[in-house]
Amino acid sequence: MLQFAQTAEQIGATGSTLEKGRVLAEYLSTLQSDDLSRAVLWMSGQPYGRSQRYRLNLGWKAIAQAVSELSDLSSAELSALYLKHSDLGDWGQEALAGRSGGEQVSLGEIAAGFDAIRLAKSAAQKQRCLQALLARLEPLQVKYVLKILSLEMRIGMQEGLVEAALARAFDVPLAAVQRTHMLTGDLGVTALRCQVGDLEKGELQLFQPVRFMLASPVETAAEAFARMRTPVLWTEEKYDGVRCQLHLSRDGRCELFSRDLKETTAAFPEVVEAAAGAGHELLIDGEILAHRGDRVLPFSQLQRRLGRKLVSRKLRLEAPVVLVAFDLLWLDGEPLLDLPLAERRRRLEALGLAWPFLLARLEDAADPPHLDQIFAETRERGNEGLMLKDPQSPYTPGRRGLAWLKLKRPLASLDVVVTAVEWGHGKRRQVLSDYTFAVRTEDGRLLNVGKAYTGLTDREIETMTKHFLAQTISEHGRTLVVKPEVVLEVTFDALQRSNRHRSGYAMRFPRIVRLRPDKPASEIDTLGRVEELYSRYFEREVPLAEVATGPGLAEAAAEVAGEDSAGDGR
């Protein structure tokens, strides 16, 4: 572990990506297989590879507690030290500085320590396992173990650089490393294949989640045509649900994965049950939506299903789901990634999948005005926007290229006032970069509605830091409550009901559009406006008829909807 920590330290110390790659490649080339896969994963801040599907479930509190038990410092000293670093690893290293020498601990022993933490049943047990592991290490090793456990190395080692280092260490083509990584989604597996020169069979495997293809944002219809350069552009409805990858074997084994490749099979039993009878080997890419009858339910209903290990019959009836399929990556033993989208879609439609499977609504757009019209129609139906796809494009996992674009204009922006600010992390730990903001009630009270940390330039943040320090009312650890004077315009993807903030609402993906020095806090938007936006756009149910275009699906939907309401007693 010492060598790992020293290598990480060396990588973090240089700003040159070339040098980072060289140092890592040199280190990786000395490692045996198990250590190799651990080292590449840990260097990119992942305790486990994605294909292992493990979660540590180790809270920040347990980590902090373990360090403080081992440290001689008082809790006030530890807090002050944390404020200085804003990084668990750097903090742990200094908190335990000067402790007498650690043991020589191998990467395998550290991995065994991670397993013990993962398998421990309670938070207290996890903390004890971590403490036992840290007690054996010297401060530099502690630093990197904590960084791995907090899933952030902060040494500027993005996955792309690890790929390059692997290519260099094992003298294999970078493109082959990238493709294997793209398909397996797992750097550890990729590293092992590089080591044994097994990059050719870098093909898809059922039940190994594949990274999702992503879309680049565009602002206007004209920009979409300019960027995609295809005579006809496919438009699909952009559904507001959660991404889902379905793997199915012919004998009915079925697993589902979320956008971050976590297994979500248990949360959507109706999809799994229906898939089991398909009689095909399939890998489908799609979006899960909550629905009832002929309506897509608001995202808040789908949220009730997310992360569930067990879904009660009651919840199944209250928030039933469908899988809207838009891509097919594997069919009966054949990987389809390299076929054009139009062909993949043809095969997907030919499957004739029944409810709760639907097909994404598809419409060609011939030119920008036509695209604008389709966009207006989808917005009218209550959808967020459109996905635009090149019908000739292959499926490129994990890539955000120009073959898929997304066109979604912000629904609205709100003018809000900053009520509290927080010190940032990493590069931004010296500045106040996280802003909590509020809207006002008719009688002049301020109610928080969100928190944003993107949108302002570094220079603006620097200026605002000085301003907020001068306007601080009180300090609570990393958070400063400030005089409510600074007005921001913020935008967001959606509004949700939530008790996280006092307004009773929260924003999805809030970002700052600009500072509004021209506007006094007394003129910011009101809670009434938030309520109005919420009921206009997000509490709305979207017609399901517009979602299903698959042959025969509409009838199946009607039939099942009938059964549902009969079973429900409605």
Q: How far is the CB of 337 from ligand AMP (least distance, A)?
A: 15
Residue from 20, 181, 238, 247 touching ligand AMP (CB under 6 A): that is 238
Q: How far is the CB of 326 from ligand AMP (least distance, A)?
A: 4
DSSP state letters, 481-541: EE-TT-EEEEE-SEEEE-SSSTTSEEEES-EEEEE-TTS-GGGSPBHHHHHHHIIIIISPP
Stretch touching ligand AMP by CB under 6 A, among 135-143, 175-183, 235-243, 337-345: 235-243
Chain-centroid distance, C-alpha 66? 28
Catalytic residue among 20, 143, 238, 451: 238
Stretch touching ligand AMP by CB under 6 A, among 41-49, 90-98, 233-241, 532-540: 233-241
Kind of pairing between the strands at 295-296 and 413-423 = unpaired
Q: How far is the CB of 544 from ligand AMP (least distance, A)?
A: 14
DSSP state letters, 428-459: GTTSEEEEEEEEE-TTS-EEEEEEE--SS-HH
> What 3-state DSSP class applies to 145?
helix
Nearer to ligand AMP, 240 or 525 (CB): 240
Binding mask 324-353 for ligand AMP (x = CB under 6 A): --x---------------------------
Element (H, E) at 327: strand 321-331
Residue from 99, 154, 259, 347 touching ligand AMP (CB under 6 A): that is 259
The vertex-277 CA angle with 274 and 282, nearest 5°, equals 85
Structure tokens at 154: 């902060």
Q: Catalytic annotation on 408?
A: no
Question: Whose CA is closest to 323, among 268, 361, 363, 276?
Answer: 268
Q: How many residues does the chain have?
A: 570
- Nearest 5°: phi and psi at 318? -75, -40
DSSP state letters, 204-258: --TTS--PPPEEEEESSHHHHHHHH--SSEEEEEE-SSEEEEEEE-TTS-EEEE-
Q: Does 381 bind ligand AMP (CB under 6 A)?
A: no
Binding mask 403-422 for ligand AMP (x = CB under 6 A): ---x----------------
By CB under 6 A, the residues from 276 to 305 that bind ligand AMP are 287
Residue 83 contacts residue 478 (beta carbons within 8 Å) = yes
Q: How far is the CB of 299 from ligand AMP (least distance, A)?
A: 12
Q: How far is the CB of 188 from ligand AMP (least distance, A)?
A: 24
Q: Helix/strand/coil (H, E, C) string of 24-41?
A: HHHHHCCCCHHHHHHHHH
Structure tokens at 387: 């996905």
Q: Does 224 bind ligand AMP (CB under 6 A)?
A: no
Q: Does 390 bind ligand AMP (CB under 6 A)?
A: no
Question: Whose CA is closest to 484, among 476, 475, 472, 492?
Answer: 472
Count residues binding ligand AMP (CB under 6 A).
Answer: 11
Stretch touching ligand AMP by CB under 6 A, among 19-27, 236-244, 350-358, 463-471: 236-244
Q: Does 360 bind ligand AMP (CB under 6 A)?
A: yes
Nearer to ligand AMP, 360 or 432 (CB): 360
Stretch touching ligand AMP by CB under 6 A, among 200-208, 238-246, 249-257, 444-452: 238-246
Q: How far is the CB of 338 from ligand AMP (least distance, A)?
A: 19
Rounded to a whole number of angstroms, the distance between the first and last alpha carbons of the chain is 62
Nearer to ligand AMP, 395 or 437 (CB): 395
Residue from 22, 85, 99, 243 touching ligand AMP (CB under 6 A): that is 243
Nearer to ligand AMP, 113 or 185 (CB): 185
Q: Does 87 bind ligand AMP (CB under 6 A)?
A: no
Q: How far is the CB of 159 from ligand AMP (least distance, A)?
A: 18
Q: How far apart are CA 372 and CA 222, in angstroms?
A: 9
Q: How far is the CB of 408 from ligand AMP (least distance, A)?
A: 6
Q: Does 215 bind ligand AMP (CB under 6 A)?
A: yes
List contacts with ligand AMP (CB under 6 A). 215, 236, 238-239, 243, 259, 287, 326, 360, 387, 406
Catalytic residue numbers read 238
